Amino acid sequence: MIIPIKTVGVIGAGHMGSGIAQVCSLAGFNVQLNDLSEERISAGLACIQANIERQVSKRVISEADRQAALERIQPARTYDDLSSCDIVIEAATENEEVKRKIFTSLCPSLHRDALIATNTSSISITRLAAFTDRPERFIGIHFTNPVPMMQLVELIRGIVTDDATYVAANEFIHKLGKTSTAAEDFPGFIVHRILLPMINEAIYTLYEGVGSVGAIDTAMRLGANHPMGPLQLADFIGLDTCLSIMQGIYEGLADSKYRPCPLLVKYVEAGWLGRKSSRGFYDYRGEKPAPTR
């Protein structure tokens, strides 16, 4: 039986989670937004409000749309507040242990027919599903960043995911105005299996002295017509996230060509994680981003 989705729970009020909550509310879904603390939920709600107000100023949506969308989003301070949700999308940090704990704690609060989705970009859907009480109703729904702007959503079935869950998730994505693509449950799925090794190779190119940060990004923007260079993109994604994804692909496929570049590891160890920490391959503390190498 396919359960109609009316209320959406989102676990994680960070950049990805707040983006998912935003597009869901604008599409007419009621949203319950959860995170570890009241402060994080409030920060996520403030981010959503600012983003939606920008859409109004650009005349993408009307003032009435803005007000209605914000009214549809409510804070969920505990997992029990997600009990009315027809689907809960986990958008926590890209750490398997964290996600496992979330699913184990979440399931007792959900109604019997609720679907569970993960926004993981590289972790096995089948493996995560095993930590729930409903693996047949578990699916990967991988939004691309930034969620409000990007059209693509990857749908990934685990071995146990049933047809009704896939159909319901696909219809849900269609109602968001997004385009879905089916990916198999392999490390990195489609987008990151291709994108992150390119970014990792760009970091190797920097590490080996083939080109500077500016030279590499300029070469790919002008030579390959990319909207931003791979090192700039890495900073935008977050270098810790890039490293986590590359490690997942490397360990999952056991192929040395996916080995994370040592320079990426060093930047993460230094706490230079990109835009979110104000330093990565660029230093964002001045008026204009300046290359750090």
Residues 92, 142: one domain?
yes
Residues 63, 201: one domain?
no
Amino acid identity of residue 206, one-letter, is L
Residues 141, 264: one domain?
no
Residues 118, 244: one domain?
no
Instruction: Encode burial over 148-181: b for 16+ CB neighbours within 10 A, e otherwise.
Output: beeeebbbbbbebbeeebbebbbebbeebebebe
**Pair of tokens at residue 65:** 């749309």
- Reported as a single tens digit per residue, the pLDDT across 59-97 is 999 999 999 999 999 999 999 999 999 999 999 988 899
Q: CA 88 to CA 82: how far, in whole Å? A: 8
Residue with the two structure tokens 């490690």: 247
Q: What's the whole-number average pLDDT of the chain?
A: 96
- Reported as a single tens digit per residue, the pLDDT across 232-250 is 999 999 999 999 999 999 9
Q: Which of 137, 155, 183 is the last residue of a domain?
A: 183
The pLDDT of residue 39 is 95
Tally of domains within the chain: 2
Q: CA 137 to CA 78: how far, in whole Å? A: 22
DSSP code of residue 3: P
Residues 109, 171: one domain?
yes
Please report whether residue 291 resides in a domain.
Answer: no
For residue 146, give the CATH number of its domain.
Answer: 3.40.50.720
Residues 179, 213: one domain?
no
Beta-ladder partners of 139: 117, 157
- Reported as a single tens digit per residue, the pLDDT across 264-274 is 999 999 999 99
> pLDDT class for 121, splitting at 50, 70, 90?
confident
